[in-house]
């Protein structure tokens, strides 16, 4: 693969990084997360992967070589079923030498950043977006 310049920084919001859905939070947070279930993601992974291995690094970045990845901010709700994916990705990225910031938010739905459209008034939306802006400004020449 040819060398390509990476973005200065990356942000992952409630990421799905392991298509095996093997994180413990798929079970422990099942009753807390009203939006994403293991069953739903099992079906989505099966459709996406066809017959491919769910641990293929291009399908599940948690199984990839992440060395050289740009600084990464991960935001996830602590009650999401996909919390374990975010934590596993952060751990793997750190092990591969990536500068990672993992931010957990209390009592927010999956990908709550869009929730102003359907649940107005969630203050965490603005807090999260401000942190994303600060993160990008910190890792770019933006003011």
Residue 1, pLDDT above cutoff 60? no
Give the closest residue to 79 by CA, choosing from 39, 112, 120, 55.
Answer: 112
Q: Is 50 within a domain?
A: yes
CATH number for the domain including 45?
3.40.50.1820
Q: Is 48 within a domain?
A: yes
Q: Is 45 within a domain?
A: yes
Please, what is the average pLDDT of the chain?
Answer: 91
Q: Is 66 within a domain?
A: yes
Q: Is 80 within a domain?
A: yes
Q: Is 30 within a domain?
A: yes
Whole-structure pTM value: 0.90
Please give the residue range of the domain that contains residue 103: 10-139
| Total count of domains within the chain | 1
Q: Is 3 within a domain?
A: no
pLDDT tens digits, 19-48:
999 999 999 999 999 889 999 999 999 999
């Amino acid at each position: 693969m040819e060398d390509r310049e990476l973005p200065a920084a990356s942000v992952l919001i409630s990421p799905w990084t392991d298509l095996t859905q093997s994180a413990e939070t798929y079970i422990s947070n099942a009753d807390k997360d009203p939006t994403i279930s293991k069953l739903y993601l099992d079906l989505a992974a099966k459709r996406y992967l066809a017959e491919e291995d769910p641990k293929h690094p291009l399908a599940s970045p948690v199984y990839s070589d992440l060395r050289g990845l740009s600084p990464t901010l991960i935001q996830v709700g602590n009650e999401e079923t996909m919390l374990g994916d975010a934590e596993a990705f952060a751990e793997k990225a750190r092990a591969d030498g990536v500068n990672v910031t993992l931010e957990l938010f209390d009592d927010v739905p999956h990908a709550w950043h869009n929730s102003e459209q359907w649940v107005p008034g969630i203050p965490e939306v603005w807090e999260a977006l401000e942190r994303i802006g600060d993160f990008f400004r910190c890792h770019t020449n933006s003011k």
